[in-house]
Structure 1
Amino acid sequence: MDRVRTACIVVVALLTGMRASELMEMLVDACVSQDLEFGRTRYRLKTKLIKGQGLGGVWDEWVTVLQAHKAVQLAVELQDPEAPSPYAFGRFTLARRCESLRAWVNGPEGQRLGLAPIPDDPINTQITRRTLAMELAHRPGGLLAAKIHLKRVSVVTTEGYAARPGGARAEFLADVAAEEQVRNKDLTLAAFRDSQKGIMPTGSGARDLIEFFASVDEELQRMEASAPGIRPRDQEVLNLLSKRAKTLHLGIANYCWFIDPSKALCLILAGTPGADKPLAGMCDSVRCPQATHHLSHRPVWADSAENKKIFIGNIRRGQPTEKARLQADLDHDLRVLAEIDAASGTVA
């Protein structure tokens, strides 16, 4: 039972980015949900924000996902009925708890149950918090989202994220940039491997990317011909892809290969063709000659299309203009979906 509670703490820490003090202050009634339109639900966890606050802290809420809610509820259900606590988790030392859990999972009992071994890496709430921050920061507008979600933003940015040059903010940005380079290489390699399987990108920038992948494939064939029986390793493939990977920026539902700023539609629309980064908020990936859609983006387009169908179905007869606008957007989404399906050989 104690091991399950430890797992619950780790899940909530990873999904919310809460500090240890915030997890310890969480009460048994911390789970708050709000029913939204069209059957959607917003999940929140209520606890005290301690760091940087006055004595006793202040109550605050973290917007999170259903899995974090369920982990808190399970931890509460596992409390000793003869000695119930008003706190969901109470006092704990995460590192010590995780060492015990890892020893059990990696030991005979865990192996008998078929549990996957836990790597021998350190874990604490600073690590879980940083992991979530990096994941958020990778997304468009993610650095600001990370600051807000992790409660590092008030009237001015706090906690050193807006500190002097070379401070915490600079270190964080440097770490994000380094992680992005690794991630971009992995994503570019995955897109290349897909193309080798016949799963092609679509969009206005697809032709250029396909031609690039074809040239890489030809180079790999020459390498194999020069050394029969030896297949190039992933690292050798990455060396050929690295230049293109450096231009990759993630859109909400597309990849942006920011090779030539003068051709970037977002910069043209903004009147800043000389900028060194794309403007994700102004991206029109269907029309931009440097944007591509991949099979991994299909769920986003499918969700968008489904939501628009629901909205259209709820529009009153007296709003024909709004209905026409949404119908045009829906047709746009369905066209992208059809192109992705055709290029990947899947059926919608």
Structure 2
Amino acid sequence: MSTVASGPLASAPLPTAFVLAGRSLRPGVQLADTSRFSDDVWRLKPAIVQVQERTVVIDFLTLPERFRPAARRLFYSLLCQDLEPPIGEKHGAIASVRSAFGEIKRFLIWLDARWPAHLHELSAISPTDLDAYNRHLLKIFPRRRGAREAARAAVRLLWRWRGHLGPDRLQFDPLHLDGWGEDRPRRDRENTTDRLPEDVLGPLLVWALRFIDDFSADILAADRLWRSERTGNPRPVSHHGVDHRLQELLDRHVAERRPLPGYQGQPNVTRLAALIGCHRRDISSRSEIIDAAAAAVGIADAAFIDTDAITGTLDGKPWVTAINTSHALPTSLAALARHLQIACYITTAFLSGMRDVEIKHIKRGCVEVKRDEDGRPYRWKIHSRAFKGENDVTGVDATWTVCDPVTRAVRVLEQLQEPGQDYLLGALPHVPGQAKGDRKDRAIGVAATNNNLNLFVDFVNSLCQQHGRTDTIAAGSGALRLKTRIFRRTLAWFIARHPGGVVAGALHYRHHSIQMFEGYAGTSDSGFRAEVDSEQAIARGEVYMEMIDSHQHVNLAGPSSAEAARRLTEFGHHAQFEGQVVLDAHRLKRIMKRHDPAIYPGIYITCVNDPAKALCEKARRGNSEDLPAHGGCQPLACQNVALTAENIRVWRTEITRIDEHLGQVPLLAPRLQTLLTRRRQKIVDFLKANGQEHSPE
């Protein structure tokens, strides 16, 4: 328990007070082992419960000495959840508090350089000081409004939390100063994350799957060799045995005219020792015969796997000539393993709809496969943790229904990580300096993931150039920069629009999207259903605008044609701005939210939804097992039907198709002939009742 009572701080906290009191701590961490108020450096890692967030500290020694007491009290108040926050305030997340410390540090260092030495208390800050600081921010961040806002918001904490700072507090609200706040354009309130365009998404996903299905075997084989050399315990070999094995290896290189593995221009003794199953020290004295072989065939970059062992191909040729040990090379194991990991991330992010934080909490053994009675898989699920919208800051267990490519990606990640690493998106160990203890309970952060996404794109484009291919990814340096949040946004768009295209066709996208939507939308408060609904509404809005612009809404047929025309006309009035039709997607989204005419264009009909008349609703209510939404659609009888010219054309095509079946030789079975004849007559009567006579061609 904390040694400090709740409520505003009337005096400075006790030196032994725990700054993280009241916060959820990482498993295995005791409050007694965490930072205290008197410490010069507060270590916040114990309260970082999401594995992808980086470890942070608050170091008061980096602040001007005269301002440290006030800063300590402010950040103790922000961190310690045993304290009651001021009315209207709340304790922030660890990452937010650490970001605020960075901005307070910027302000106090600036203030220290401005103030005379005898001033120590922040209560002496004047409006003139903050006006000057505001001008300073405009100078150092002339085009970064967000950075200026963050800096000002941190300074205002000295006012908002003044009740916890005693006499050393800000005496006025900076928000009342002229120029302290900046007008924010209305559009910033909308989700401005763009979706991935098709010329980026298609190649990106294809190359990610290519890494998983075609190239991963080579990378994982090199990884196994790396691990065996790093952790293996070579058996003792007699001097004669070492000489014999080494000579055989060198003779093969000479006979095949194949260079020896090297490192920094010299024969790689460690690699040669690993190839013959002994320790480096066992052959270090044989430099004479090694140098002789090197003189005959040369020295190559050290490689775990070279051309002869590469199994993955591009256009019938090895996709890389070697997987190298040197981290400076683009085909090093460290680089290729990182590309393989991010390929798995891309596949999982786009084909599951999971947020970055949810992917980062995927652990070994997270895949669940449902099989039928013949043992064939028919459904795949991934278990992780969901955070958004949950009351528990440590997250809750959640499940996502995915497709097979996602499970293949997870299987690769399980092999790529060392057995003791549970989190599959943890930092990989191949680069020097990756301490195992620091990786075991961690995952890579958002910034590192964004960087790796664009490094993957750069490598793929370089590979395309080397192999003379044209399927490059139109993103990376100098173009669109990939970010983690773009995948979920793009998936929602694709599900809402049901697109075609190479990627969609190759993955049977529409079928998979139904599975993903079914599983993901029902998981906790994911918010994904709302995102898809929003995209579907925008898609309908675009169709409405097209119908209004081409006057289709006044040329509809069917029992609800008049109602559809009325609704669309009213919608068109709302969509007008200063005499012009709105084309801006964000404004269209707001209009749809307020004035959606609830008209649903389809292939055979356009549904003008009125629940009171909807036969599908009556069928659903009358069925003991609820039908899916609109699963009982009866277009030939429902009064909610309107018909566009395209709908009418589809019905007439249906009649023509039935006529072809009825006229084929040999004749259809009598029962089938009767059913088709009845359906044809129903369609003809339906068109006739709606003023659309069918004329046989």
TM score, norm. by length of structure 1? 0.49
Whichever of the two has the greater Rg, that structure is 2
TM score, norm. by length of structure 2? 0.28
